[in-house]
A and B are shown apart, each in its own frame.
Chain A
Amino acid sequence: GQQLNQSPQSMFIQEGEDVSMNCTSSSIFNTWLWYKQDPGEGPVLLIALYKAGELTSNGRLTAQFGITRKDSFLNISASIPSDVGIYFCAGRRVGETSGSRLTFGEGTQLTVNP
């Protein structure tokens, strides 16, 4: 089941503002993934992280693999209206015995006002 706490649940921001969201857990992870889902579509992989402390960018998006290996962060700079959607974190928990499954956060709904 779900073991990732993703926050905030929702955000309402003005175009041009920066956005920060995070995922935390009591478990240790060896992979963190960040996805974006547009309404009625499947999630799209934005950034993948594999190493504690790793900082990776994809355009205006930057994600970090937390030093403790129990959290991850996603930042969006200078938001634009097309950033609207649901952002999910997902991770591969160390010690996961059930094959190749991931643990997902519940998502952050982002609304950008023009």
Chain B
Amino acid sequence: DGGITQSPKYLFRKEGQNVTLSCEQNLNHDAMYWYRQDPGQGLRLIYYSQIVNDFQKGDIAEGYSVSREKKESFPLTVTSAQKNPTAFYLCASRPGHTYEQYFGPGTRLTVT
């Protein structure tokens, strides 16, 4: 069945290590997004991509990198340059004809 998958659900890393979060969708959606959510807060946009091989920085892109080599996939790398990487990361996708975004289940990253 169609949907957005994020894996893994929980991820633990040591400080100083880069880590890549997976986001895959089989909805044939054009645009994909990465958000960060901290406890008790709203969603902050990290990066987004409207078409393959193109992406734009959101409000908090520093310390993160992305790629969009395939329509279905939009992986997010949290680099060691990100000062406070521990957070809940949400991926979303959007069909081309609407502004409605559909979210994956999220990945909780803990860096110690």
The proximity string for A residues 73-114 relative to B, scoring 1 for CB distances below 8 Å and 0 otherwise, is 000000000000000101010000011111011110000000
Contacts of A31 in B (CB 8 A): 99
How many chain B residues touch A (CB < 8 A): the figure is 27
Partner of A40, one of B43, B45, B98, B108: B108
The answer to whether A99 touches B48, judged by C-beta atoms less than 8 angstroms apart, is yes
Contacts of B31 in A (CB 8 A): 99-100
The answer to whether B99 touches A98, judged by C-beta atoms less than 8 angstroms apart, is no
Contacts of A90 in B (CB 8 A): 101
Q: Which residue of B lies closest to A31 (CB)?
A: B99
The answer to whether B105 touches A100, judged by C-beta atoms less than 8 angstroms apart, is no
Closest Cβ–Cβ distance, residue A93 to chain B (whole Å): 10
The answer to whether B58 touches A101, judged by C-beta atoms less than 8 angstroms apart, is yes
Partner of B100, one of A48, A88, A104, A106: A48
The answer to whether A33 touches B108, judged by C-beta atoms less than 8 angstroms apart, is no
Bound CA span A33–B103, Å: 13
**A interface majority secondary structure:** loop
Known: A41-B105, A42-B90. A100 touches B48 (CB 8 A): yes
- Since A88-B43, A104-B42, A107-B42 are in contact, a sample of 16 more A-B pairs with Cβ atoms closer than 8 Å, ordered by chain A residue number, is A2-B42, A40-B108, A41-B105, A42-B6, A42-B105, A42-B106, A45-B100, A48-B98, A48-B100, A100-B94, A101-B33, A101-B45, A101-B48, A102-B99, A102-B101, A104-B43
**What number of A-B contacts does a CB cutoff of 8 Å give?**
56
The answer to whether A44 touches B103, judged by C-beta atoms less than 8 angstroms apart, is yes
The answer to whether B42 touches A45, judged by C-beta atoms less than 8 angstroms apart, is no
Closest Cβ–Cβ distance, residue B24 to chain A (whole Å): 14
The contact size tier of chain A is: 20 to 34
Q: List 30 A-B contacts (CB under 8 A).
A: A2-B42, A31-B99, A33-B99, A40-B88, A41-B105, A42-B6, A42-B92, A42-B104, A42-B105, A44-B103, A45-B100, A48-B98, A88-B43, A90-B101, A92-B99, A98-B56, A99-B31, A99-B48, A99-B50, A100-B48, A100-B50, A100-B94, A101-B33, A101-B58, A102-B101, A104-B42, A106-B41, A106-B42, A107-B41, A107-B42
